[in-house]
A = this chain, B = another copy of it.
Amino acid sequence: MNQVQNGFVKKLSPPQVLVIGFAATILAGAFLLSLPISTENGQPLPFIDALFTATSAVCLTGLVVVDTATTFSTFGEMVIMILFQVGGIGIMTFATFFALLVGKKIGIRERLILREAFNKIDMQGVVRLVLAVVIMTLVIEGVGFIILSLRFIPEWGWGKGLYYAMFHSVSAFNNAGFDLFGDYEKFSSLVRYVGDPVVNLTIGGLFTLGGLGFIVILELVEYRVTKRLSLHTKLVLTMTGILIFVGMVVILAIEWRNPATLGNLPWYDKLLASFFHSLTPRSAGFNTLSLADMYPATLFFTLFLMFVGASPSSTGGGIKTTTLATILLAVWGMIRGRENVVTFRRRIPYNQVYKALTVTVASITVVLIVTMLLTITENPNNILTAMFETVSAFGTCGLSMGLTSELSLEGKILITITMFAGRLGPLTIAMALARSLKQPPYRYPEERPLIG
């Protein structure tokens, strides 16, 4: 191996590799999308819009400044699809890797991969891991493609039906949130399918699986053999279940009589739509109801769900279900006077709890600052619009109350940065930028300030 190259790679920390890799992919995508061949009308897109769209695709966000179907040519759409497919696989492998790298104990199988990948100093384990992610992705997207084909071909004919089935299956599994239904009504997402169980359950199933994360899916696939689930998987499944159930109840309770959302639907469509809208903030970004017409309380609750997002090493964003679960357990433990955070007969170590709290506080800080700046650059009537946009971008969710397509130049730049920060995590970016301090050879004496 080249000595110089080796030295350079060795100098980059894992956070720096992540940041540079993502930035390079986004810039390449932005270049392609700004070519005349990428647009429907042959006019090159302004670079900021191309950059915004590429960032949104690579980061699996799904916020769009221009309507995808009516603005981009088939070439442009394929570029976008490839970007979010690369983004999805990249994030899953990177995140899984990164988790293994910092020495997380996940399970016997994963520990074997870890040992192979890093101790044997060959690339066998790495290849296997990437292969596993790719195969899993293709299998699940393939199943989604077949089901959606059965639904879309009768509606749109063979060519468009197959194309739509592919695009939306890939978009859904990767929690990308991009759709091609702008032909029907610009930026309308899945509103036309509000009462369609096949489309709702297939797309919902795809992005929910994608949001569980590679490790969880792998454990579930192997459960018939191993008969055991890790604490990580138990937390992911429990918390995801709770969020879906609570979300559905809250949406049903608040929106039941709202004529612009659930009000005029029959009860079974009310159930389907509220179920879908309790799934989609996990960070899918598809919607079957008009968000701008929801009551503020529902939107506010959706903010919370988007902020939490999906699970680690997945195609979803947010602070993650396990982070929320750990925090809730820590707060509950502190209230009950317990020393340790205990769940499922396991103890979560201090530094994990600490990390969960730090990630959350750092994320809240970013969201608050961006929201504040957005109220200055966009001057929206209702601050909720700006907050919703920010949390959606940061949680890579992609739901919007309608601000995205009206963003000013400053607003577009701000949201582009937010999508990037949200995808990689504010701590990862900060770690990539900051010079790591050496531990001092001595310890300072302890002193306790009063807290709270």
Contact = CB atoms under 8 A, between A and B. Distances in A.
Interface of A: 99, 104-106, 213, 215, 230-232, 235-236, 254, 295-297, 300-301, 304, 312-313, 319-320, 322-323, 325-327, 330-331, 334-340, 342, 345-350, 352-362, 364-365, 368, 371-373, 375-376, 379, 381-384, 387, 425, 427, 430-431, 434-437, 439, 443-452
A89 to B, nearest CB: 18
A437 B338 contact: yes
Contacts of A365: 331
Contacts of A446: 346-349
Contacts of A296: 375, 379, 383
B354 A439 contact: no
Contact of A342 (B349, B356, B425, B444): B444
Contact of A320 (B105, B232, B254, B452): B452
Interface of chain A: mostly helix, strand, loop or mixed: helix
A62 to B, nearest CB: 21
B347 A449 contact: no
Given A312-B452, A348-B446, A383-B387, 15 more contacts: A105-B447, A231-B448, A232-B448, A297-B375, A312-B449, A326-B449, A331-B358, A331-B362, A336-B437, A338-B439, A340-B443, A346-B446, A348-B448, A355-B451, A427-B452
A356 B349 CA distance: 18
22 contacts: A105-B448, A215-B450, A231-B448, A232-B449, A295-B375, A297-B372, A297-B375, A300-B372, A300-B383, A312-B450, A312-B451, A320-B451, A323-B451, A336-B436, A339-B439, A349-B448, A355-B451, A357-B360, A360-B361, A382-B382, A383-B383, A383-B387
A357 B335 CA distance: 14
A99 B450 contact: yes
A370 to B, nearest CB: 11
* Interface-central residue, A319, A339, A375, A425, by most chain B CB under 10 Å: A375
A231 B450 CA distance: 9
Contact of A364 (B359, B364, B373, B445): B364
Given A232-B450, A383-B384, A431-B335, A347 B99 contact: no
A347 B448 CA distance: 8
Contact of A323 (B330, B384, B452): B452
A230 B450 CA distance: 11
A66 B445 CA distance: 52
A451 B371 contact: no
A309 to B, nearest CB: 10
Given A105-B447, A297-B375, A350 B354 contact: yes
Given A364-B364, A382-B383, A444-B342, A452 B372 contact: no
A230 B323 contact: no
A301 to B, nearest CB: 6
B347 A443 contact: yes
Contacts of A444: 340, 342, 345-347
Nearest to A325: B449
Nearest to A379: B296
B297 A447 contact: no
Given A104-B450, A231-B447, A327 B254 contact: no
Report the 5 A-B pairs with minimum CB-CB distance, sorted nearest first: A357-B357, A312-B450, A359-B452, A337-B436, A231-B447
Nearest to A100: B450
* Interface-central residue, A99, A427, A446, A451, by most chain B CB under 10 Å: A451
Contacts of A230: 447, 449
A434 B213 CA distance: 35
A372 B425 CA distance: 27
Contact of A304 (B213, B354, B361, B368): B368
B425 A322 contact: no
A324 to B, nearest CB: 10
